[in-house]
């Protein structure tokens, strides 16, 4: 079977395609989904992000596509070529390259930027994509909850419109997957797999018109009025992107994938793989590090966490299902992806399982014994942060200054608290996600496809999952090897901090008792 290698160089703004003939050994495609992807050309946006890497890796490892194009923007200190070189050296591809050493030669970066009015894609690359692409997976987004409105509208909403316009030029298009979020309609507590245009203060056309006509500063000042009941610009602009799909997809073969809170991978390509601390993962990171001890959270609320590899599998499967039903379903199908109602986990369960698993594989870099308390009262959280975080942080920073190091903990706590407050709208109450389309997709898959592209949350073993997640965090975020020596070292540090933690508790209780005795002695 012949394959085409990607470009040997990238000019600024243009992915120059210099194909050379190489040969891969033919591999029998046994399942329907694998046969669907055989010799297909795929275009992925958001491919440099966590989920994008998971999706690309799975397509390359489990199927035999002809080619994968992926959108890459240059950064302040890195051009596209440099970013791609770093991207290809990531640990997520290690398992893939063991079985397919030349798999990444099927990748071609397309220079672009979703902030740009034309996606920053050159005319030559647009023609190339229009000619070759059959499957589009649009996952590019800014996931910062409080991104300035003008930026969030450009990346999350306008870019979706521009991607649909580009898709209309793709004459061979078979499937377009829009990656949204289960919280795109979080003004509701019961969210079905349908569009909700009435949730917004204005139409998507009006919002984008404001983006084009007003200055960035003026638009950002209008944020509270535009948001209405939405908690942040992320959920608002992702919801507007769904309105773009509803109004402009037309006869294109489109579906929307709405994942809940994406966590570390469960099984593939390696157990517990995660590449950066973000969202809820950042909080768990802070807890295991011994920094975060007070949380704004309702432990009784359901925690709709889903593994990254399950999300990747479902994206791959939903493209197949969309192509299969392109002529049967004129309205885009929406897939809510959250834990099964038969296998629910609460934030209290998440805390208990995470704390238990974390103490089995303690971090050697922790700075205090991991423990956590929570409240649902913002005022109490603000007050408690003084005693739980700022006072210990101030003392820790003094020790850093005395040892000649730069103080950092008090400053870090300000960012941690911003993250905690930003997450509170999503963990203060239970959201119910209807999963009829998701379960129907699972039922339509063959037994073989269910094995290769598993996303069945009904059978999720939460204890095993959090054990793998904490192992993965230790390895990939803390960079601590899973060796016996390292684990033993972590356990010794944990035991030492536990003794200190108990000693501090005794001192605090004794001091409080002494103060109470002094007060009572005055009146008795």
- Which residues of the chain, if any, have pLDDT below 70? 1-29
Alpha helices in 289-388 (DSSP H): 308-324, 347-360, 378-385
In 3D space, the residue among 436, 441, 457 whose CA is nearest the CA of residue 193 turns out to be 436
In 3D space, the residue among 328, 116, 153 whose CA is nearest the CA of residue 241 turns out to be 153
Domain boundaries, the chain: 32-272+303-341+430-461, 347-428+476-522
**DSSP code, position 198:** G
CA distances to 37, 59, 174, 293 from 320, rounded to whole Å, are 8, 12, 9, 45
* The CATH homologous superfamily of the domain defined by 32-272+303-341+430-461: NAD(P)-binding Rossmann-like Domain (3.40.50.720)
| Tens digits of residue pLDDT in 304-322 | 999 999 999 999 999 999 9
Amino acid 5: pLDDT: 37
Amino acid 27: pLDDT: 53
Euclidean distance between CA atoms 132 and 234, whole angstroms: 32
Torsion of CA 492, 266, 333, 135, to 10 degrees: 120
| Tens digits of residue pLDDT in 343-400 | 999 999 999 998 988 899 999 999 999 999 999 999 999 999 999 999 999 999 999 9
pTM of the model: 0.91
Amino acid 28: pLDDT: 55
- The string of DSSP letters for 411-475 reads HHHHHHHHHHHHHHHHHSS--EE--HHHHHHHHHS-HHHHHHT---GGG--HHHHHHHHHHHIII
Amino acid 25: pLDDT: 46
- The string of DSSP letters for 155-180 reads IIIIHHHHHHHHHHT-TT--EEEEE-
């Amino acid at each position: 079977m012949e394959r085409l290698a990607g470009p040997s160089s990238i000019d600024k703004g243009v992915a120059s395609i210099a194909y050379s003939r190489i040969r891969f050994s033919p591999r029998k495609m046994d399942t329907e989904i694998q046969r669907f992807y055989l010799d297909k050309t795929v275009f992925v946006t958001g491919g440099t992000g966590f989920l994008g890497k998971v999706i690309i890796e799975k397509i390359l490892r489990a199927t035999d596509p002809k080619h994968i194009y992926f959108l890459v923007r240059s950064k302040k200190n890195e051009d596209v070529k440099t970013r791609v070189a770093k991207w290809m050296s990531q640990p997520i591809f290690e398992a893939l390259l063991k079985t397919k050493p030349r798999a990444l030669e099927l990748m071609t970066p397309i220079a672009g930027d979703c902030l740009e009015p034309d996606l920053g894609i050159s005319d030559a690359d647009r023609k190339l994509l229009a000619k070759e692409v059959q499957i589009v997976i649009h996952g590019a987004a800014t996931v910062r909850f409080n991104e300035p409105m003008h930026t969030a509208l450009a990346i999350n909403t306008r870019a979706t419109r521009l991607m649909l316009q580009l898709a209309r030029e793709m004459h061979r298009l078979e499937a377009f997957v829009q990656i949204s979020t289960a919280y795109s309609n979080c003004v509701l507590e019961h969210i079905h797999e349908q569009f909700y245009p009435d949730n917004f203060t204005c139409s998507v056309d009006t919002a984008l018109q404001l983006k084009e006509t007003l200055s960035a500063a003026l638009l950002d000042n209008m944020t509270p009025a535009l948001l209405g009941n939405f908690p942040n610009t992320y959920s608002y602009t992702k919801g507007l992107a769904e309105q773009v799909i509803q109004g402009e997809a037309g006869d294109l073969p489109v579906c929307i994938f709405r994942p809940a809170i994406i966590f570390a991978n469960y099984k593939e390509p390696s157990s517990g793989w995660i590449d950066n601390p973000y969202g809820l993962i950042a909080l768990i990171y802070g807890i295991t590090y011994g920094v975060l001890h007070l949380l704004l959270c309702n432990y009784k609320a359901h925690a709709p966490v889903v593994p990254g590899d399950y999300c990747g599998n479902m994206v791959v499967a939903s493209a197949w299902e969309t192509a299969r039903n392109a002529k049967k379903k004129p309205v885009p199908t929406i897939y809510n992806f959250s834990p099964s109602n038969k296998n629910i986990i609460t934030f209290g369960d998440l805390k208990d399982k995470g704390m238990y698993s974390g103490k089995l594989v303690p971090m050697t870099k922790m700075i205090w014994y991991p423990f956590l308390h929570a409240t649902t009262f913002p005022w109490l959280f603000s007050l408690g942060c003084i005693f739980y975080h700022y006072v210990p942080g101030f003392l820790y920073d003094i020790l850093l200054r005395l040892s000649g190091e730069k103080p950092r903990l008090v400053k870090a706590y300000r960012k941690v608290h911003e993250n905690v407050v930003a997450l509170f709208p999503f963990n203060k109450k239970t959201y119910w996600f209807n999963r009829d389309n998701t379960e129907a997709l699972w039922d339509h898959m063959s037994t073989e496809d269910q094995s290769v592209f598993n996303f069945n949350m009904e059978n999720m073993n939460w204890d095993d999952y959090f054990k793998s997640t904490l192992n993965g965090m230790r390895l990939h975020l803390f960079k601590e090897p899973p060796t016996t020596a390292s684990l033993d070292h972590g356990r010794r540090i944990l035991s030492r901090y536990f003794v200190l933690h108990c000693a501090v508790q005794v001192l605090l209780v004794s001091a409080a008792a002494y103060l109470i005795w002094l007060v009572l002695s005055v009146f008795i």
